[in-house]
Every structure is written in structure tokens, then in C-alpha cells.
Structure 1
Amino acid sequence: MWRERLSRLPCLHNRPQLRTKEKIVALAIYRELATELLFHQDMPGYRDILGIMRSVAYELLPLGPNDCFLEPVERRNLHSINTASREFEIPFTVLWSALEENGMIPKGLHRSTAARMTFEAKSIADVASALLESGFANSDAQKRFALSARLAREVDTANFVPAEWLSMSQATMKFSTLNESLTAALADDGHLTEIEAPTQASPIRIRKADIEEFCRKYVLEPSFHKWVFRNTSLEPNGWLSSVGITPAIPEHRVGTNIYSMDSYTKASVARSARS
């Protein structure tokens, strides 16, 4: 009876997207029930119910050996794209695309929907391994992601310099937007280094130097489109597509189209050829 009721809890099926640095903890899933049962776990019957809760969660959630869900998890049963991305050091969008190509995810899903999906651990591990063996392991994208992960691992209380790190809201404002999901998506792909800072306020921090480097290389669609319209008086989407200027990072993957900085030069050349 307990197993059936617990397995139907909406929070186990409709949980929010779990970010790269966020852990799945019992309190977030079972709420006050977890607190109450843990407090009474030494009383008769309570430990049995906790065992059922752990078992149900293990069957439905992407828990792995680095997680502690009421007690340490011994082995992984399921992966999400984020957990597999961390384990195999593959950017979220690259792994997402590979899963689409292998028919494990329908094409056209919203990013948050894809992030909530779970997969049998071995099946997603096979896709990740094949991707790495195909040559992706030495690509710029993989090196960028691995470097970001290494930088994040090396930050601790002793070497944390607050001035070098921005809160999620501060980092997002550097892009002239309030859309924090964009910043999160760029961090999930290794464009930005994200850490759990050893501070009480705003523990999630983004490396300031990464923001500055990204802004030197890329421009978000709203700013670029405004420049195009001001300089051509043409509708940006149609004109840019007609002259072969496409986003370096597509909206479908991160929430907004992002262009490389050389798009300005390409647009200027195309405008001159048109006059």
C-alpha cells in the first residue's frame, strides 16, 4: 500500500528541472514526510517505510553514487541528461542532440521537458560512450566543458575570491536580460563555469571572466537584430536568413538565438553588396 501511494506522488513525476549543481534530496521530494520519518526512524515500523521511500525514489529518480537520498546511493539506475552530462563531461545540448539522433528523445521538445526525462543508465551511457569515441572527446566543445568542470572542482573555501564570481542574477544582467534560464543553459554547456560558492547568500555563482569572454565572442539576438534593423531598415529574421547569417547557438537549445561576433562583419558586407 505504501509503495503504491508513494509511487503516485506528483513530485516524483512532475519535479522541476534539476540544474547541473542541484542535488536530489529527500526533503525536496517527500517534504515534511521525510523529516517526520527520519526523526522517528528508530521507532518500530518507521525504518521499513523509509526503505520503501528509498526504493520508490531509486526506481523513478536519476540518483547516483554521489547522491544521498535518506542514505547513500550505492549504484545508479537512471540518468537524466544533466546527470549524464556531469558524469561523461559532455555539454547538455550535445548529449541532448545525440539522444534525439538515437531516437531516445522526440525532436522539438522544450529544454525543460527534456531535462525532466530519465533514461535507463546503461542506454544513455552507451550513447555517451559512442559520442566520445566518435571524436567528440577531442573537440573544442568537450575541452571547454571539461575545463569548466575542472575549474569548478578546484574552488574551495581557501581559494574562493568573491570578486571573481557573480550571483546568477548579476551574471544574467551582464547579458542585458532578466532571463536566468539562459545563463543556466550556458553554464550547463560549459560556456560559463558555475559553482556552489562557500557563502550563505546566493550560493550559486558564475565565473565573471567567463561572462566577459562570452560577451567578446557572442551577441544575443535582441541586440543584434536591433543593430541590423537600424542599419538596413529590413526585417532582421528574413534578411539574415536570406544572406546566410544564422545563430551560432540556436534558440531551441538555450532559449534565445545567439550570434557570433563576426556576424556584424558578415551583415555589413551583405548590406554593402545590396546597396
Structure 2
Amino acid sequence: MQKLYHVTICNKSLNTHKNPKWALSQNGDRSLAEKLDAAIENLSTWYRVTLIMVIIGLLSLSVVISLSQYHFQEEINKHGEIKEIKDEKTGQIGLAFVPDTDEIFSTDSVLKLYTTQVWLMASNGVVIGLLSFLFLWITSRGQSYKKELKSIEGQLIRQSYLVNFETSLPEGETRTDKILNHSSLVFPELQAILRKVKPEGKKLPYKQNQSIGSETMDVVVSTKKGYFTVKFFDNVNAQTLEQFANNLSKSGKPLFRVLCLSKNFDDELQSAKLATIMQNLNLDFDMDLIFEDDQGYSMLWIN
């Protein structure tokens, strides 16, 4: 997590032109964050499909070899049986086929087939071991690559947060429209929803005044990763923040991101103690603290 002090960008009020990233997104070109998010999803799909193929291969191999062994043993039992016979001269124990009748046929060929089946079963174990290793290796590497990509995506989102929230005026008629329009420039999950909205709409579908646990959230957007939520506060101190976070954690709802907006954060939250306060919350979701004023937004904490 990264701590950011409240700063005032002097040229914020002068930056009244339409954000170029927003124009690019509406023209149909994916942002870098959205492409990275898609790459993570593709990687997850790739290694899941690979694991399924490995499992199918293991099951198919086991079934084929087991059926082969079963039918071979069935044929052997029709004509006799394989027994261990001890050589009285050497004391060694070997395999021999003992026929049920006096009919003459090649016992050597039967023994060779039986030995082949034994080696086939041993090979089956080796192949299963190798495929199991491949299964574990793919799982480990896939999770490692996914974690690395998620780390890169997190850094990109933090940079995008700073660029868009600190240097651009929000667009929209209401507080809700402004924060959602700005958030759409940062989070690929929201950009993906916007692409599905009809061109004449150009607004994120959202719900207002939704209860999550014992808290009433001002804005809730349902995404593929959980709920993107916004809460507007009049004043925020450490106790307010702790109670709010605990109530959301107890709700059991899948929360993707929680934005806390306020015009006033107390001095303790603007001091070096903020990092400790946020870490002690032990959140299982991301929560950001954002200053809101007439000129726009400024980041206090990016999770």
C-alpha cells in the first residue's frame, strides 16, 4: 500500500479540455490497463484449459491401460494361469504359465505378453508421475505469472489514479456522475461495462442507496470482480473509518473497490499515522480515501 499526502495541483482548474484518455476509450481503443486486465484473464483461461487437458490425458491413459490389462488377464484365465515356480537347482523363483489342458501352444509368447503388460503398468505409473509434475508445474507457474501481472496492473492503476484524479476536472452534472466518469478512466472493470452500454447511454449502470451489511452505500456498480462502491462522507476520522470498514467486512459481500470521498479528513488521517491505521483495518478488499472539492479530487490513500 502507498501513502499519498493531499496536494493541490495548481493547473487543475485550468485543465478544462476533455480528457484524451476518455476520448480514446470512446473511440473504441482499449486502454493499457484494460489490455493488461484482458491479458490476465487470458492467462487464467489458458492454464485452466491446460490443466483440464492434463487431467483428461491422465484419465484416458489410465482407462486404456487398465482395460488392456483386464482383457489380457481375462484371456489368460481362459487357458490357464501364471504362477511363480521355484527352480529347485538354483533356488530362483520365476514366472511360468500353467495351462489347464494338454493342448500345445507357445507358453513363451504368453509369458512375453504378460511381461509386456507388467512393464506397461510400470510405464503407466511413470507417465502419471510425469503428468502430475506437469500439472503442479503449470499451476505454480500460472499462479506466479498471474500474480506478477496483477502487481503490474496495480502499479498502473495507482499511476492512472494520480494522473486522472490529480490533473483533470471531473465531468458530469452530479457528484455520482463525476466520480463514476473519473473512475471509468482508471479501472478496466468499469471500462469493460461501458463498452457494453449502448452508445447513446454512455453512462455506467449503477444503483444508489444500497445496503451492504449495516452500511448504506451511495453508489454501487456490479462488476465481474465484485461490487464497486462509493461512499460520500461529510467528515472522516479514524474511528469513523474503522467502524465503516468493519461493517463492510462483516457483510460478506464480494467487494471489488470501495471509494471513500470527503471534503474533510481529520489531522490524524493526514499524518504519518495513516499507513498504520489502514494496515490495522486488515481489509480483504481495496479501499481508497479521496479528497473532494469544487475543483475536483485529490488522493489521500490508494490501496
Q: Please, what TM-score do these two structures have when normalized by structure 2? A: 0.22
Larger radius of gyration between Structure 1 and Structure 2:
2
Relative CO higher for 1 or 2, CA cutoff 8 Å, sep ≥ 6? 2
Select the structure that is richer in strand.
Answer: 2
